[in-house]
Structure 1
């Protein structure tokens, strides 16, 4: 187990000397940073807290003791060593309260002594971390076992057709679950946009569900006798045990709202709750829960981050595709003319139309998928742009969408991204001559293009074409040609291993130096710097003390 350490001292020679003199690797310690004051150290290590802090006391901005107090609160297992010029009892007394392993005066500093001290700390910390890891693993296993037993009980409840209430209660008790009550109110909790939460938070689905369950249980326990089951990683079921379901429903409505707010506040996760009617026996409970859990379409038009009473939904049998051509034309034209604000308005108009007509959710998702595929194909054919919509396949993404609210925001993100990618190639003019010229440039980006040749292609006078292009696009023709070529150059440099010279030749630039000069002027860095900057493996910052000063 590799431990991490930082050095914090405004005396640069001392920090430099220690960073180079101590055999960090042999001690099983990685020196992850050197800092000149406590504030700098604290701000730069909050995302990766060190196990060991070696620090001075008297420093500007934040002294060593103030810094150690913060580390003590953030990481209970950390250890510290103080190197100080202050031979005062008060300082030493304060230090001992902050998990300081030793207080060494700089005037008597001995590297061998410090190295031995670090070895002792390393051994002790490794043992502590190992014990903590074992305890955490035990708690997780215990939690997993309890959760698995409850999950199996829920499945048995849903699929066991001939259970008496007595048999059901006995089975629950054998699995460590107490369900004895006259009535049960089922509350199904859906984690909104689970795939997006998992991706943005870099957490697996189980961990997210576990965190939501903990907050939910804490809120429900304050007002109700309840048991929470996990149906899937995105769905939880809470059974509220009660004697008076009418009164309990009123209280539960308030409690569920409180739980939704708490989960959003503490976890930054949105959940939607569906409250079913009361049941007194397992067979009724099964009949109530099955459609709530299995038929996602019934919650498609419900608002996210709210509590709703469950009702079976009815949908229109009208043909959605009757208006397909109209919406496709509106969106396509707005994208082609680089008017993202219009796209947003059209999507809102479309969403209102869908909600008003209440089309079947499966039809709505199929309609959206068709729209995106058609836009992708049209963009690819017309503008020669690959992968126009999203790196993730629309079909895979749309399968994870279960609400109209989510679908609307997702399609807007897709179209915004498409608009962004096309912005450099956008056709802002309605003049057919300008549209033809821009399309020609895009489709012949690898060729050398001149104003005169373009004017001849359009059967226009070159001076007239130049003025017309400037008036319609707010840039001259050669500027536009270079913009399109540089956009293509960036794509080539990001997606392939070809050299700068090969890119320059491929895009029709006779002079490599001119291409590099143009690229730097427009992008802010040379092609080589751009390639390094976008490389998947970036050179890590130096760990030398001087790099952090």
Structure 2
């Protein structure tokens, strides 16, 4: 880009010579005007603000030094070269005080002046490039700090108010509100299991670059990435922000759908909030609310969902929410049963129910839910290993993915990925007979207090009752009833000798609701009554 210059001298021949002799175009300088007095020059400088001024000192009405003084007071930062026929020290000292670039005596050596102008032009360009580079760095640093603060806020690492911009006064900060558009790639975590860190980063950078292009024209917008596979677009809620948010959401959906068109394993889903909030705890609450919307298996299959309700209206009471975060013992048993039976339909139904329940959690219970999902995943992987339903390399990838998972949604996706991999694996070997019997004994040993029957154990193993009875008798050497009675009596004897429980309580703890029947079975097994057994253990006989 060319620089601009103004020529100021009361002698017309000098003005003409300066205009015609010097190769202005070749030097990259455009003459924007000439003036024959300081007063005339003041008005023209105010209009065109030249980069360079060549100015005579001795002029009528207002001399060059007075002109420079007024220009500096007005904040003009142009470079000035003084031309004078008088070599007086006072002139030079005044010129230095007003930051004059060069002091040239007449008669003018035009070749020397040309060289000085070329040097000055180069200096101005370098100075501007350095200034622009510094400004760009400051803007980038400010944006990085703001994005880092918001990212930490959404991740729950800090509680703070964010300034916009960073140096803005507090009254401006409180007035700026944002709208959140949450972009999620469903299936990414499952699809990317086994990827290297470079593959993860390359994929993520490609999506982030596309989002930046789509939102680049939106002033004040930010793109926040708390975890891989998810991005939060923050738009200033000013002007026609509703229309802009709708347009951005549609453009993002079309762009990412086109990118994933060849891969049906991943799908874009967008939650578009419509509640403008400040960049404080409000935005963190809205972010978590939008995340729960993504987890909720709603009948609404729209790719873009709008969130209109407040956070408080969606939350369950604290006691209910915390209870919902726990995975019960019965659910773990069902997971084990469906894995051993190869029942994908029931397993998927159980996962769907669990996913829906976890989506209703309060933020304060998220950590409880995550801990329980991790425990469930460990349980599933161990069960799959025990029944030889998963390859060693595949199991290692799942363990690595479990360590990488950083949110409830990713953990739920991992459970679905494991279930899918288990079901789609061809030629899955059934557990051996010894493994079936071992599992049956473990199942029975932990339920001595229950009214356990053959049908329940056989159903849990995924085999028929008659086949279970045949296997059990041939491998254990006793019938199901004999085994349960023996284990219950061993447990009762241990409780009699180590606790002060009543005989009735011990009978109930070992599966006998009536004391009389418990005493009868105990006497038949040990040839003495429960009270006599306890007394004999106390006396050492």
Is the pair's TM-score, using the shorter chain for normalization, greater than 0.5? no
Give the structure with higher Rg (CA): 2
TM-score bracket, normalised by the shorter chain, equals 0.3 to 0.5
The structure whose RCO (Cα within 8 Å, separation 6+) is larger is 1
TM-score, normalising length from structure 1? Answer: 0.40
